[in-house]
Amino acid sequence: MKYIITESRYNKLLENKANKLQLFQDLINDKLKYIKKYCDELDADYYPNDISFDSCDEVAFIENIRVSNMEYSTSTHHPYDESTKQTLITLHLIIEYDFMKYKSYDDVIWDIKQMLIKSTGLPIDIQYETSNLRSNPQW
């Protein structure tokens, strides 16, 4: 399996938590740009395998995704076998959007999660909150 991560990003992974947060922020920014780029350019007949059709509907309203926190937890695939322990990284994100009402961003998060797992090779889970940037309550 081929992992797409630069040496500088790999070194940030091994350093302190602030650098790790910045690394994941950079990765998520790259993935969000990738999704937006292909959703803007694609015709209705073709979507890349790593972007779902529904993600393009959701990503149009996303202004920014911020990494607010990162946690580590240990999980065991088989409860009686200690050799299967694995460290899971949970990213806590804040999706800043500009839309009149709340919208689910599950498809975009799923795509970003799969891209992060594929590019880093790390077990990653994502939890997110949303924040509406539209300040005028009388839409």
Digit-coded pLDDT (tens) for 94-132: 999 888 777 789 999 999 999 999 888 888 999 999 988
Average pLDDT over residues 10-22: 70
Cβ partners under 8 Å of residue 93, min gap 6: 28, 65, 66, 67, 68, 109, 126, 127, 128, 129
Residue 29 lies in a domain: yes
Digit-coded pLDDT (tens) for 17-68: 677 888 899 999 999 998 888 887 765 555 566 787 788 888 888 999 999 9
Q: How many independent structural domains does the chain possess?
A: 1
CA 77 to chain centre: 23
Domain extent at residue 24: 7-132
Identify the CATH number of the domain in which residue 55 sits: 3.30.300
Phi, psi of 37 (to 5 degrees): -60, -50
Residue 35 lies in a domain: yes
pLDDT of residue 112: 93
